Structure 1
Amino acid sequence: MRFHNLDLNLLVVLDSLLSERSVSQTAQELRLTQPAISNALSRLRLHFEDDLMVQVGRKMVPTPFAESLAEPVRQALDDLRRIVVTRSEFDPSVAERTFTFVCSDYVFSVLLTGAIQKLASIAPRIRIQVLLSTDLTRGLLSEGKVDFMVVPERRGDPQHPSTPVFNDRFACIAWSQNPLIGNVLTLEKYLELEHVSVVLGPHNPPHIEQESLDIQGVVRKIAVHAPTFNAVAEAVVGGNLIATVHARAAELYAARLPIKVYPPPVEIATFVECLQWHKNKQSDAGTIWMRDFLVNHARDL
């Protein structure tokens, strides 16, 4: 489709180039060839009478004029996507659609694994793609590259709508044969033993339990930083390390690993996990259906 002598498909390419700043990565994202992207960039340059993207080292850098186009182009495409995806109804039994989520492996285990099992029977053609939460995935919802984000309420993006899905508290875990702990985990032993914690990215804010401990001046001896929440349980088995984890996850770990679960000997705040979606998909029937499905599924947890 042409609008004022511009093929509107070129705006999709421009939006991706401004985001990826690479012809090859844009080609990969849009599933086109690199020559096709280069040709599209040439046509954009001709139309706007500006270089738009210039090569600096190994990256392409937008010109000032291209920078000024970034926001209006993104907004225009978001508006078009909202119109295109709007449907009067959504039939999950026949719908063919992929929903992409950003969440932690903890949320995947506690919420999404059971949801995926249900979807297999009621929505067999729906596909689920999950990206693990890191400091690199924070902006994907606002960029329209994912459908949903599941994060603690305090970590949500205030620019987009959300709804609570479940709450949780914290528990401590240790190997069931740990000789240094009896039937009760005392504060003295909690401070004496070494811990396993989690780091989801170098720029991520402290986890909820760490914030609670910091407020109270409680300092743990952290010996191991695991890459995911689920890896923490594996790390305590067979040794003297302990860990503070989400209580729902602790129940799952205890069902398949030789670990004991203890109440924390220090007060740690409870929290609520929220489901977020892009504001431009507020009226999309598929988004509404998936949101309601997950909220109802969470009630059965």
Structure 2
Amino acid sequence: MQLDLNLLSALDALLEEGSVAGAAARLHVTAPAMSRSLGRIRRTTGDQILVRTGRTMTPTPYAIAIREQVHELLHQVQGVLAPSRELDLATLERTFTLRWHDSLVALSGPALLSAVREQAPGVRLRFIAESSIDTPELRRGEVDLEANANQPTAPDIRAENVGETRLVIVARKGHPLTRLESITAQQYAAAEHVTVSRRGSLGNALDDALARLGLTRRVVASAPTEAAALEFARGSDLLVCVPEVTTRSAVTDLGLAVLPLPLELPPAPIHLSWHQRYDTDPAHAWLRGLARTALATCGTSP
């Protein structure tokens, strides 16, 4: 029997995505074409691979057993067949999509863009906003690099901790707490607060830390971005807790005051994430290096 390597790619995508539509989007083919590939895989293996259970599809025991083996085999085949080539930055033409936390775009985006334009003028960068829900674009190859505080859990997503920053309190100048030499957890909790949340959450890890001290705070609003939350704080007596890196321009540009947080919390990490399919991609590796350098300026080394 002659082996069709295209079926190996289709099988890997089907096992990773768990659906015909997801596998088709990942390999940039139509859903009918992927359905035909699934049919050929079923005839070749003698196994259904994916079976429908209600509105979703479930992998068979055989599919689960071979998932890692198929993925590793495809990775080896791609490594053998991928041509070895030098990266010519002067002639490189490519568009990279980056989904970064808004504060990281503001702080590190200009340095990254400047470095890219200097080294590879044919490269374009698309910075897109983070979604309010977890989305699979990174796995599908629709997003090249993510940068935020989240540690990915999917086994096919690479992540590197490129820095960390501590949390601080931001308030308007003249806020009653700014007149104190130091503030206590009780005084912090007694104030009114605004949170930063893509999902609109009115609570976060700060509330857990306060609860351990027997304290609660009153959160009167949430904002989808740190920039919006800082504006809320500037025009009221609301407090907002943000990574210290965010305040570098806020203090000067918005006339805000920065106060130490009277709680024991670990530093906020800065993670750079990408899909493992780009591990050996020279252009992607080059961009990761520039992004790593740019993001490292946002905080201290981990």
Q: TM-score category by the smaller chain?
A: 0.7 to 0.9
| Structural mapping, 1:1-301, within 5 Å | 4-83=1-80, 87-101=84-98, 103-129=100-126, 132=130, 136=134, 140=138, 147-152=144-149, 155=151, 165-176=162-173, 180=176, 182-184=178-180, 186-187=183-184, 189-199=187-197, 207=205, 219-257=216-254, 259-267=255-263, 268-276=265-273, 284-298=281-295
Q: Aligned letter for 1:123?
A: A
The 1:233–1:84 alpha-carbon spacing in structure 2 relative to 1, beyond 3 Å, is farther
TM-score normalised by structure 1 residue count: 0.74
Asked whether the equivalents of residues 86 and 283 of structure 1 are also in contact (C-alpha less than 8 Å), the reply is no
Asked whether the equivalents of residues 178 and 259 of structure 2 are also in contact (C-alpha less than 8 Å), the reply is no
The number of residues matched between the two structures is 292
Q: How far apart in 2 are the matches of 1:121 and 1:106?
A: 23
Asked whether the equivalents of residues 193 and 241 of structure 1 are also in contact (C-alpha less than 8 Å), the reply is yes
Q: Aligned letter for 1:275?
A: L
Bigger shift: 37-46 or 109-118?
109-118
Please, what is the CA RMSD of the aligned residues?
4.0
Q: How far apart in 1 are the matches of 2:3 and 2:268?
A: 49
Q: How far apart in 2 are the matches of 1:109 and 1:86?
A: 37
Bigger shift: 31-40 or 143-152?
143-152
Secondary structure of 1:245's partner? strand
Secondary structure of 1:197's partner? strand
Q: How far apart in 2 are the matches of 1:253 and 1:85?
A: 47
What CA deviation, in whole Å up to 9, does each residue of 1:250-270 have, x standing for no partner? 22334544x512222515544
The 1:58–1:68 alpha-carbon spacing in structure 2 relative to 1, beyond 3 Å, is same
Q: How far apart in 2 are the matches of 1:16 and 1:202?
A: 33
Q: Aligned letter for 2:262?
A: V
Asked whether the equivalents of residues 189 and 210 of structure 2 are also in contact (C-alpha less than 8 Å), the reply is no
Asked whether the equivalents of residues 191 and 239 of structure 2 are also in contact (C-alpha less than 8 Å), the reply is yes
What CA deviation, in whole Å up to 9, does each residue of 1:235-289 have, x standing for no partner? 33433321111122122334544x5122225155445534355667555433442
Q: Aligned letter for 1:193?
A: A
What CA deviation, in whole Å up to 9, does each residue of 1:185-211 have, x standing for no partner? 7335422211122345699x965x667
Q: Which runs of 5+ in 2 are unaligned?
A: none
The 1:20–1:202 alpha-carbon spacing in structure 2 relative to 1, beyond 3 Å, is farther
Q: Aligned letter for 2:189?
A: L
Q: How far apart in 2 are the matches of 1:61 and 1:168?
A: 41
Secondary structure of 1:252's partner? helix
The 1:83–1:245 alpha-carbon spacing in structure 2 relative to 1, beyond 3 Å, is farther
Q: Aligned letter for 1:261?
A: A
The 1:294–1:265 alpha-carbon spacing in structure 2 relative to 1, beyond 3 Å, is closer
Asked whether the equivalents of residues 135 and 202 of structure 1 are also in contact (C-alpha less than 8 Å), the reply is no
Bigger shift: 155-164 or 180-189?
155-164
What CA deviation, in whole Å up to 9, does each residue of 1:159-218 have, x standing for no partner? 78765534423322234576x555457335422211122345699x965x6676566666
What CA deviation, in whole Å up to 9, does each residue of 1:2-54 have, x standing for no partner? xx523211222222223333333433333222221222122112211222222
